[in-house]
Structure 1
Amino acid sequence: MAGQETPHDVRLRRDPGPRPIMMTTDWIRKHRDDLIDFVMELVATPSPNLPGDERAVAKAITAHLRRLDMDGFEIAAKEPHRPNVIYRLAGRGDGPTLMLCGHSDTKPVGDGEQWRSDPMKPVIRDGKMYGLGTTDMKGAVAAMIYAVAALKQTDAPLHGDVLLVVNADEERTMTCGSEFLATDYGIKADVCLLGEPSGIDGPEFEFLHLLSRGLSCFTVRVLGTQMHSSLSDRMPSVNASIVMGEVLHRLDRELKLTFEPHPLCASPTTNLGVRIEGGVGYGVYPGSAAFQSDIRTLPGMSRDQLERDLRSCLESISRDYPKARIDLTFEEPPLDWFAPSQVEADHPLVGALLDAAQQVLGRRPELSAFPGGTDAKNFQVEAGIPTIPSFGPGWLPLAHGPNECVGVEAIVQAAQMYAIAAMSYLRA
Structure 2
Amino acid sequence: MVSIEERIAERVEARGDQIVETLSALISFPSIVMSDPTKAGPGERDCQLYLQTRLEKLGFTTDLWDPDGPALYEQYKGRPGANKGRTFEGRPNLGGTLKGTGGGKSIMLTGHIDVVPPGAREHWQTDPFEPVLKDGFLHGRGTVDMKGGVACMLMAVEILKELDVPLSGDIVFTTVVDEEIGGMGSLAMVDRGFRADAGIMTEPTANRIAPLCHGILWGRIILDGIGGHAELTPNAWYSSGPVDAVQLCRQMLDGIDILNRRWMFDPKKTHPLMDMPNQIMVTQINAGEHPSSTAGRAEIIIDAQYLPHEKDEFGLGGAVKREIEEHVANVCQADPYLRAHPARVEWILDADCAEVPADHPFVETFQSAVGIAGLSPKLSGFGAHSDIGLPTGLGNTPTVNFGPGDPAQSHQPNERVSVRDLIDCTKAIALTVHRWCR
| 3-state SS, counterpart of residue 74 of structure 1 | strand
**Displacement of 1:21 after TM fit?**
2.1
C-alpha distance in structure 2 between counterparts of 1:31 and 1:229, whole Å: 65
RMSD (Å), alpha carbons? 2.2
Q: 1:260 to 1:44 in 2, by over 3 A?
A: closer
Cα deviation 1:268-315 (Å, max 9, x = unaligned):
432342100111113433221120111111121143322332233222
C-alpha distance in structure 2 between counterparts of 1:52 and 1:342, whole Å: 32
**Displacement of 1:132 after TM fit?**
0.8
C-alpha distance in structure 2 between counterparts of 1:144 and 1:410, whole Å: 13
Q: 1:260 to 1:233 in 2, by over 3 A?
A: closer
C-alpha distance in structure 2 between counterparts of 1:96 and 1:281, whole Å: 63
**Displacement of 1:365 after TM fit?**
3.5
Which letter does structure 2 place at the counterpart of 1:21? Answer: E
| 3-state SS, counterpart of residue 309 of structure 1 | helix
User: What is the aligned counterpart of 2:23 among 17, 23, 39?
Assistant: 39
User: What is the aligned counterpart of 1:403 among 400, 408, 414?
Assistant: 414
C-alpha distance in structure 1 between counterparts of 2:66 and 2:2, whole Å: 40
Aligned counterparts, 1:234-253, within 5 A:
234-236=235-237, 237=241, 238-253=243-258
**Displacement of 1:351 after TM fit?**
2.1
| 3-state SS, counterpart of residue 87 of structure 1 | strand
Contact 1:223 1:240 in 2 (8 A): yes
C-alpha distance in structure 1 between counterparts of 2:18 and 2:318, whole Å: 50
Cα deviation 1:320-340 (Å, max 9, x = unaligned):
2222323232324xx1x2222
User: What is the aligned counterpart of 1:197 among 172, 189, 204?
Assistant: 204
C-alpha distance in structure 2 between counterparts of 1:86 and 1:393, whole Å: 22
Q: 1:37 to 1:174 in 2, by over 3 A?
A: same
TM-score (norm: length of structure 2): 0.85
**Displacement of 1:368 after TM fit?**
1.1
User: What is the aligned counterpart of 1:48 among 32, 39, 50?
Assistant: 32
Residue 6 of structure 1 corresponds to: none
Residue 319 of structure 1 corresponds to: 333
Which letter does structure 2 place at the counterpart of 1:224? Answer: G
Contact 1:99 1:163 in 2 (8 A): yes
Q: 1:381 to 1:326 in 2, by over 3 A?
A: farther
Moved more, 144-153 or 398-407: 144-153
Residue 233 of structure 1 corresponds to: 234
Aligned counterparts, 1:345-356, within 5 A:
345-356=358-369
**Displacement of 1:374 after TM fit?**
0.6
Aligned counterparts, 1:93-112, within 5 A:
93-112=102-121
Residue 4 of structure 1 corresponds to: none
Residue 224 of structure 1 corresponds to: 225
Residue 213 of structure 2 corresponds to: 212
Moved more, 209-218 or 262-271: 262-271
1:62 aligns with 2:75: no
**Displacement of 1:171 after TM fit?**
1.1
C-alpha distance in structure 1 between counterparts of 2:259 and 2:53, whole Å: 55
User: What is the aligned counterpart of 1:187 among 187, 194, 204?
Assistant: 194
Moved more, 207-216 or 47-56: 47-56
Residue 426 of structure 2 corresponds to: 415
Residue 308 of structure 1 corresponds to: 322
Cα deviation 1:57-113 (Å, max 9, x = unaligned):
1122223335x4335322132134221222212111222210011111111111211
C-alpha distance in structure 2 between counterparts of 1:360 and 1:228, whole Å: 67
Aligned counterparts, 1:143-292, within 5 A:
143-175=152-184, 177-183=185-191, 185-199=192-206, 205=207, 207-229=208-230, 232-236=233-237, 237=241, 238-254=243-259, 256=262, 259=268, 261-265=270-274, 268-292=277-301
Moved more, 222-231 or 107-116: 222-231
Contact 1:267 1:298 in 2 (8 A): no
Q: 1:271 to 1:261 in 2, by over 3 A?
A: closer
For structure 2, the residue ranges without an aligned partner over 5 or more in a row are 68-87, 312-316
| 3-state SS, counterpart of residue 352 of structure 1 | helix
Which letter does structure 1 place at the counterpart of 2:196? Answer: A
For structure 1, the residue ranges without an aligned partner over 5 or more in a row are 1-16, 200-204
Residue 372 of structure 1 corresponds to: 384
C-alpha distance in structure 2 between counterparts of 1:275 and 1:89, whole Å: 44
Q: 1:393 to 1:254 in 2, by over 3 A?
A: closer
Cα deviation 1:122-145 (Å, max 9, x = unaligned):
111111111111111112111111
1:385 aligns with 2:397: yes
Q: 1:270 to 1:74 in 2, by over 3 A?
A: same
**Displacement of 1:400 after TM fit?**
0.4
Contact 1:265 1:368 in 2 (8 A): yes
Q: 1:266 to 1:29 in 2, by over 3 A?
A: closer
C-alpha distance in structure 2 between counterparts of 1:18 and 1:414, whole Å: 22
Which letter does structure 1 place at the counterpart of 2:203? Answer: E
TM-score (norm: length of structure 1): 0.86
C-alpha distance in structure 2 between counterparts of 1:150 and 1:103, whole Å: 21
Cα deviation 1:336-362 (Å, max 9, x = unaligned):
x2222011111222222222222222x
**Displacement of 1:267 after TM fit?**
5.7
Aligned counterparts, 1:73-88, within 5 A:
73-78=62-67, 79-88=88-97
1:343 aligns with 2:337: no
| 3-state SS, counterpart of residue 110 of structure 2 | strand
| 3-state SS, counterpart of residue 19 of structure 2 | helix
Residue 425 of structure 1 corresponds to: 436
Contact 1:252 1:272 in 2 (8 A): no
Contact 1:182 1:383 in 2 (8 A): yes
**Displacement of 1:266 after TM fit?**
6.9
Contact 1:136 1:399 in 2 (8 A): yes
Moved more, 283-292 or 239-248: 283-292
Contact 1:229 1:285 in 2 (8 A): yes
Q: 1:132 to 1:82 in 2, by over 3 A?
A: same
Contact 1:349 1:421 in 2 (8 A): no
Moved more, 72-81 or 270-279: 72-81
C-alpha distance in structure 1 between counterparts of 2:161 and 2:330, whole Å: 62
C-alpha distance in structure 2 between counterparts of 1:317 and 1:417, whole Å: 49
